[in-house]
Structure 1
Amino acid sequence: MKLTLLGKQENAHEDGVWSAAWAPSSADAPGGVVVTGSVDETVKLWQVGDSGLQPDRTNAGHSLGVVSVAVDPSGTLAASSSLDSIVRVFEVSTNEQKAALESPPAETWGVAFSPSGKQLAVAGGGSGTVKLWSMETFQQEGNLEIPLPAEAGSKRSQGRFVLAVAYNMDGRRIAASTMDGTIAIFDVATLKFMHTLDGHHMPVRSLAWSPTEPRILYTASDDCHSHIYDAEGKGLIAALSGHGSWVLSVSVSPDGTALVTGSSDRTVRLWDLSLRSCAQVMSDHGDQVWGVAFRPTAPGEEPSQRGGSRLVTVSDDRSIALYDFS
């Protein structure tokens, strides 16, 4: 397996780029659309061609830096979460805002759409919760509370700070990660806490479920490791080591064979999951890599039909890199 750099968009934003997500290929956008969020308070949409990215539209509705973006599986809606404590939901094709979901300060961080696209999960930061919002009514319809750590002291409040959230492939489970390194697993149907996954001892900033195995979860942590968990059996399957600093982002290829991680060591690593080893190191960014994202398959499309997968990476150096994955 291999990553090949297709193009790099320098100065894509006016400040560091912290997040990226894809809208799948469609008749109007055969190469897919990349959505990026930046500390410069904007969300940008990019048309993807064979050799690079072309700027399409800009959403300037936030008043503070954008920390997370997500696109629903159909590519219809996108969501952006900002330090202004607002999650904005807008149409990908028109940029029309559909809703502004407001929360108290420090309670909007990572965002993720359910596989059906009917629900949006928002990591609740200092509230110690995950908020679930209906994408049909744009009303909150659930609240998942992360249990407090057993130990007392300052780590109690730190452990409750929720950074990232993700649904598994069948939509039955939600994973939420915290500042103290634990990952909480919830049952979506009952909104009940199930258990935690342990093994990290520093913040876990990014989560990605396997697209082929509904119980396999991948993590990225400030402890310089990415972990592979059996989220149902509560077991740590493997720890991937190699980055020289915080691992900030993680994404899985649509066929489930490869993992990509981005780090504050300024590198992107490609991991062969069958061997659980690093297959390639990319050093195309000049600052920490906050986001990595494989292009998803379109609804009804098999991964083997995708005609070559794509990967985008974004960095504090204000650039976006586009890769071919083969």
Structure 2
Amino acid sequence: MKLTSPVIIENAHDDSIWTATWTLAPEDSAPILLTGSLDETVRLWDPKKDSCIRTNTGHCLGVVSVAANPSCRMAASASIDSFIRVFDVASNNTIATLEAPPSEVWQLQFNPEGTILAAAGGGSASVKLWDTVKWKEIATLSIPRPEGLKPSDKSGNKKFVLSVAWSLDGRHVACGSMDGTISVFDVTRAKFLHHLEGHCMPVRSLVYSRVDSRVLFSASDDGHVHVYDTEGKTLISTMSGHSSWVLSLDASPDGAAIATGSSDKTVRLWDLKMRAATQILSNHNDQVWAVAFGPPGSSLLASVSDDKCIAFYQYS
């Protein structure tokens, strides 16, 4: 896989862009990029025209996560204002507004069937799950408190949950914490299964393989990308190269590569067979908060940054 030189959209938002995800236009199945920014908006982009389709408002503070439902009809955005806004992609009409205590909503992710929305629960050391029909909270997946730790012991904040990901088969949810641990849950039984260890700093981003439900990728402030066998509870490999925090990663639809974004201002493309970076792109001039591969068949990758820019790459 090789990325072409990107098309850059400058000043795509009025402030830092922290999150990005792809969906398909309901009317013609063309790929659309959704971005969220500290300017409190979510914007929809047409990569063919390199233009903004629509700007969505509704949050009172910066948008930290956007997630698209596999149905392509709805998406959700989370903000520092501790609200999740679920909206219709085509009309921008609000479908639901979900509230959580301050700093209790970070990354969002729909399950592969689109029936459950998961939210990384911040200081609650948990992942909250909502059904997507009645928008009722159906479960809170809590990370077990270490033995001997009193409920009032503030050191529990080390389990502050930053990231969340669903397995390909929808059976498991993984979440990454400030202390570098990754927790894996059985969703059907709402049961904690085990920790995955190896990182020594916050785990900012998680994504399961698009072709194997056992394989999980993680990105951390320690500068490393890890590949885990979640069922075998083993670290398969470690990939290093970024000179600073790895803030984001995504897996390609064909399972052959991953892309990462870092506070070292670069985007890297990694070949999973070689377990090495095959391309380093330095098109941003500030830290890269999100990278996202487009839908299968689109051959697209996007990255967003504190520099307020969006970069669209083609790959082959």
Q: TM-score range by the shorter chain?
A: over 0.9
Contact 1:147 1:160 in 2 (8 A): no
CA distance in 1 between counterparts of 2:74 and 2:39 reads 22
Which residue of the partner structure matches residue 246 of structure 1? 245
Aligned-pair Cα RMSD in Å? 1.5
* TM-score (norm. length: structure 1): 0.93
Give the deviation of 1:93 after TM superposition. 1.2
Which residue of the partner structure matches residue 98 of structure 2? 101
Give the deviation of 1:147 after TM superposition. 1.6
Does the alignment pair 1:159 with 2:158? yes
Contact 2:25 2:90 in 1 (8 A): no
Q: Per the alignment, in what secondary structure is the counterpart of residue 225 of structure 2?
A: strand
Cα-to-partner distance string for 1:22-73 (whole Å, 9 max, x where unaligned): 003665252x000000011111111221xx5210111110000111111011
Give the deviation of 1:91 after TM superposition. 1.0
Which residue of the partner structure matches residue 301 of structure 1? none
Distance 1:251 1:182, change over 3 A: same
Q: 1:128 aligns with which of 125, 138, 148?
A: 125
Q: 1:117 aligns with which of 114, 117, 127?
A: 114
* TM-score (norm. length: structure 2): 0.96
Which residue of the partner structure matches residue 209 of structure 1? 208
Which residue of the partner structure matches residue 170 of structure 2? 171
Give the deviation of 1:149 after TM superposition. 3.9
Which residue of the partner structure matches residue 300 of structure 2? 310
CA distance in 1 between counterparts of 2:21 and 2:264 reads 22
Q: 1:69 aligns with which of 66, 71, 92?
A: 66
Which residue of the partner structure matches residue 38 of structure 1? 37
Does the alignment pair 1:223 with 2:222? yes
Which letter maps to 1:15? D
Q: Per the alignment, in what secondary structure is the counterpart of residue 156 of structure 2?
A: helix
Distance 1:267 1:220, change over 3 A: same
Which residue of the partner structure matches residue 292 of structure 2? 293
CA distance in 2 between counterparts of 1:25 and 1:311 reads 17
Q: Per the alignment, in what secondary structure is the counterpart of residue 4 of structure 2?
A: strand
Which residue of the partner structure matches residue 302 of structure 1? none
Contact 2:26 2:73 in 1 (8 A): no
Which letter maps to 1:17? I
Cα-to-partner distance string for 1:289-322 (whole Å, 9 max, x where unaligned): 000000123xxxxxxxx1x510000000000000
Does the alignment pair 1:143 with 2:133? no
Which letter maps to 1:218? F
CA distance in 2 between counterparts of 1:63 and 1:286 reads 27
Give the deviation of 1:164 after TM superposition. 0.7
CA distance in 1 between counterparts of 2:3 and 2:180 reads 30
Which residue of the partner structure matches residue 199 of structure 2? 200
Contact 1:206 1:220 in 2 (8 A): yes
Which letter maps to 2:257? A
- Which is worse superposed, 20-29 or 196-205? 20-29
Q: Per the alignment, in what secondary structure is the counterpart of residue 5 of structure 2?
A: strand
Give the deviation of 1:5 after TM superposition. 2.7
CA distance in 2 between counterparts of 1:187 and 1:160 reads 19
Give the deviation of 1:74 after TM superposition. 2.2
Distance 1:149 1:224, change over 3 A: farther
CA distance in 2 between counterparts of 1:251 and 1:230 reads 17
What count of residue pairs does the alignment treat as equivalent? Answer: 314
Which residue of the partner structure matches residue 300 of structure 1? none
Cα-to-partner distance string for 1:163-183 (whole Å, 9 max, x where unaligned): 111101110010011000100
Which letter maps to 2:18? W
Does the alignment pair 1:322 with 2:312? yes
Q: Which runs of 5+ in 1 are unaligned?
A: 298-305
Give the deviation of 1:155 after TM superposition. 7.7
CA distance in 2 between counterparts of 1:189 and 1:163 reads 22
Q: Per the alignment, in what secondary structure is the counterpart of residue 5 of structure 1?
A: coil
Q: Which runs of 5+ in 2 are unaligned?
A: none
CA distance in 2 between counterparts of 1:40 and 1:211 reads 32
Q: Per the alignment, in what secondary structure is the counterpart of residue 4 of structure 1?
A: coil
Identity among equivalent positions (%) equals 53
CA distance in 2 between counterparts of 1:137 and 1:7 reads 40
CA distance in 2 between counterparts of 1:293 and 1:151 reads 41
Q: Per the alignment, in what secondary structure is the counterpart of residue 199 of structure 2?
A: coil
CA distance in 1 between counterparts of 2:154 and 2:196 reads 17
Give the deviation of 1:112 after TM superposition. 0.2
